[in-house]
Structure 1
Amino acid sequence: MRAAVLEEHGEPLDIQNVDAPDPEPTGAVIEMEACGICRSDWHGWQGDWDWLGIRPQEGQILGHEPAGTVVAVGDEVENLQEGQQVTVPFNLGDGTCKQCRTGHGNTCENIRPLGFVESVPGAFAEQLHVPAADHNAVVLPDGVSSVDMAGLGCRFMTSFHALAHRADLGGGDWVAVHGCGGVGLSAVHIASALGGNVIAVDLQDEKLEKAKELGASATVNASDVENPANEVKAIADGGAAVSMDALGIETTCRNSVLSLGTRGQHVQVGLSTQDEQGMVSLPTDAMVMGEIKFIGSLGMAPTNYDEIFRMVADGTLDPSAVVSETVPLDDVSEKLAAMDDFETMGIPVIDSF
């Protein structure tokens, strides 16, 4: 099968013919129909996250936002059948640990990030093997497009979990989203759907215009103002109730915290870069005085996908609205390179392998 293989960090992925996977006894093989190209893929391509132990090595197949059709299942798989259309979360759980058994599979004690470690080759390929398939493969509703659902593997579901489960977001609350890439634009759409008044913050007018289309009540171009956090506070009459860092650099993290009003909640979704390596200085005295909460949020448990599907069914959510373009597998390196300067919009999706 064809796959985009990492041969050297920062260099174009090599489109190779590699062996197609066979299902493990508890696994399944998915024929790929769509896969998002995520900024997390860019981090892996660049060789980031060695401080987390998930730096992809040479020979790794990247890609972690898949949607496709089941073509083979292992002998011990009970709840999945050939022909079903599925998506797969990037944060693969084993389905057996305490976290998985209690509905928190996104923080599995034996978590394996799809496409970032050798044991789970990614989805930039014609086929994908899914371990612990009964736990990790999420059957999609009938009649949906795999392209439209590709973001559910990472960016869209990550934003949903952060805002619907981790933050305490009430109707009419001001919500600031710092960074309007795929995660951030998904968060704008989701926060608006959940009843929030959203303030989108970014450096590019084009992305801020898209944020308005997705439900933002106000926008702040951080390159045009001296203090983006103060601009958010002015719009939100003293500060946001919830603020998200959807990018993961020190500036957006700190601005997010400083955007909050008293007893506000900062939600950290973006993982850091080589500059921070997981360490960011914060205004701790202001956080103490304002009783600010700092909340981490990772992906979403596969058991919670039905919440998204119900909101999609009634028209409240539309993941396809964040999909910006479709490209063939051969163009994946070009799209990754464009992320060097934040040139991609929304969620680009591979639809031809």
Structure 2
Amino acid sequence: MRAVLYESFGQTPSVQDVESPSAPDHGVVIAVEATGVCRSDWHAWAGHDDSVSVPHVPGHELVGRIVRAGDAVARFSAGDRVTVPFVCGCGTCEFCRSGNAQVCPTQTQPGFTHWGSWADEVVIHHADTNLVTAPEELPAEAVLPLGCRFATAFRGLHDRARLSAGEVVAVFGCGGVGLSAIMIARAIGAQVIAVDISPDALGLARTMGAGACVDSTGLSEAEVAAAVRDSAAGLGSESGPHVTVEALGIESTLNAALQSLRPLGRHVQIGLLSGRPTTAVPQVIGQELSLLGSHGMAAADYGPLIALVVEGRLRPQDLVTRTISLAEAPAALEEMAQSRSAGLTIIRP
């Protein structure tokens, strides 16, 4: 089969012919219909992820059909159209048994712990625990983003923060995850404030339903927080947003989000932070704020998310701004070092 492969970190990848994989006893091989280009793929290629070893094939957002299934797979078979969370559980530990495979201690992640979906075929382990049926009526563009950015944002807002209709949420960072959070918040019925330094990203955020936008270019943490609180007042929440989401992984952005929250507010941290950031802990204590993490979503919890897409209340396909071939993927990966484009690029092998 063909796969985008790099043999050392930072090296220009190439499309190569590699051996087709066999299905593990509890796993499957999926023929990739489409796969996403995510900044996490770039971080892995750049050598920022300790779980990745070379040579390596990136890719973790995907939709496709099962072509081979292991003997121990009971719930799925060849021909089934499926997607998968980027965090896959072992299926047997206490967290998987309780429906929380996204924090499985021995989790696998296609495109990180093993070769991923920038290829004709990809292996998924422990299929009965991790596969999600992809409705035939949904286009690939609506399904593949559910594996990473939409699942993480949905769990953060719906399950962790318990966002309700009529509340105000401020989303810091309008890349793939941030735009997903905006769309999900609107589908839930919340009002949204978008925060970013990119006019293009803010323009797309408004198109996706943001009721207010804050350009944080050159502003201090306190100035960003004040601007967000002013925007929240304009949306009917005088004391600040009920929920904030940080989707960048930057210490100053995290602190600005915490400072903008109303008392008893909930903060969802999705962006991956490096090191040990200094956070506004006294404010967390004094105003009884909730600091919540979101690290993907277990396959068992996909029902409500899929339902929103089938009903048309949530349209992940609207984020797709570019479709490329496998041959164009290496250049797309390298381009991410210089730019943070709005929207989603997908690969159709």
Partner of 2:285: 288
Q: Distance in 2 between matches of 1:213 and 1:76?
A: 46
Partner of 1:218: 212
Partner of 2:342: 345
1:168-247 matches, cutoff 5 A: 168-223=162-217, 225-226=219-220, 227-236=223-232, 237-247=238-248
The structural deviation recorded for 1:335 is: 2.0
The structural deviation recorded for 1:224 is: 5.9
Q: Distance in 2 between matches of 1:113 and 1:25?
A: 17
Secondary structure of residue in 1 paired with 2:318: helix
Deviates more, 1:173-182 or 1:324-333: 324-333
Partner of 1:35: 35
In the alignment, structure 1 residue 131 sits paired with structure 2 residue 125: yes
Which amino acid in the other structure matches residue 87 of structure 1? T
Q: Distance in 2 between matches of 1:343 and 1:334?
A: 14
The structural deviation recorded for 1:7 is: 1.9
Q: Distance in 2 between matches of 1:343 and 1:297?
A: 22
Q: Distance in 1 between matches of 2:328 and 2:162?
A: 40
Q: Distance in 2 between matches of 1:74 and 1:101?
A: 21
Partner of 1:109: 105
Partner of 1:154: 148
Question: Does the Cα contact within 8 Å between 2:138 and 2:310 map onto a contact in 1?
Answer: no
Which amino acid in the other structure matches residue 335 of structure 1? A
Structure 1 unaligned segments of length 5 or more: list them.
none
Which amino acid in the other structure matches residue 244 of structure 1? V
Which amino acid in the other structure matches residue 117 of structure 2? A
Q: Distance in 2 between matches of 1:344 and 1:70?
A: 32
Secondary structure of residue in 1 paired with 2:264: strand
Q: Distance in 2 between matches of 1:294 and 1:199?
A: 19
The structural deviation recorded for 1:302 is: 0.2
Which amino acid in the other structure matches residue 29 of structure 1? V
Partner of 1:321: 318
Partner of 1:26: 26
Question: Does the Cα contact within 8 Å between 1:175 and 1:197 map onto a contact in 2?
Answer: yes
Question: Does the Cα contact within 8 Å between 2:62 and 2:147 map onto a contact in 1?
Answer: yes
The structural deviation recorded for 1:334 is: 2.2
The structural deviation recorded for 1:15 is: 1.6
1:258-273 matches, cutoff 5 A: 258-272=259-273
Partner of 2:235: none
The structural deviation recorded for 1:338 is: 2.7
| Residues 1:337 and 1:159: Cα distance change in structure 2 (over 3 Å) | same
Which amino acid in the other structure matches residue 277 of structure 2? V
Partner of 1:96: 92
In the alignment, structure 1 residue 70 sits paired with structure 2 residue 66: yes
Question: Does the Cα contact within 8 Å between 2:73 and 2:127 map onto a contact in 1?
Answer: yes
Query: How many residues in Structure 1 have an aligned counterpart in Structure 2?
Result: 342
- Structure 1: which 4+ aligned runs deviate by more than 3 Å? none
Q: Distance in 2 between matches of 1:342 and 1:260?
A: 30
The structural deviation recorded for 1:221 is: 0.9
Q: Distance in 2 between matches of 1:311 and 1:171?
A: 15
The structural deviation recorded for 1:225 is: 4.4
Which amino acid in the other structure matches residue 143 of structure 1? E
Deviation string, structure 1 residues 15-64 (Cα, Å, up to 9, x no partner): 211111111121111000111011111111111133xxx2x222011110
Question: Which of residues 300, 303, 311 is equivalent to 1:303?
Answer: 300
The structural deviation recorded for 1:251 is: 2.1
Partner of 1:336: 333
The Cα RMSD (Å) is 1.4
Question: Does the Cα contact within 8 Å between 1:7 and 1:14 map onto a contact in 2?
Answer: no
TM-score (norm 1): 0.93
The sequence identity of aligned pairs, in percent, is 38
Structure 2 unaligned segments of length 5 or more: list them.
233-237
Which amino acid in the other structure matches residue 10 of structure 1? G
Deviation string, structure 1 residues 134-153 (Cα, Å, up to 9, x no partner): 11111111221123211111
Q: Distance in 2 between matches of 1:95 and 1:323?
A: 32
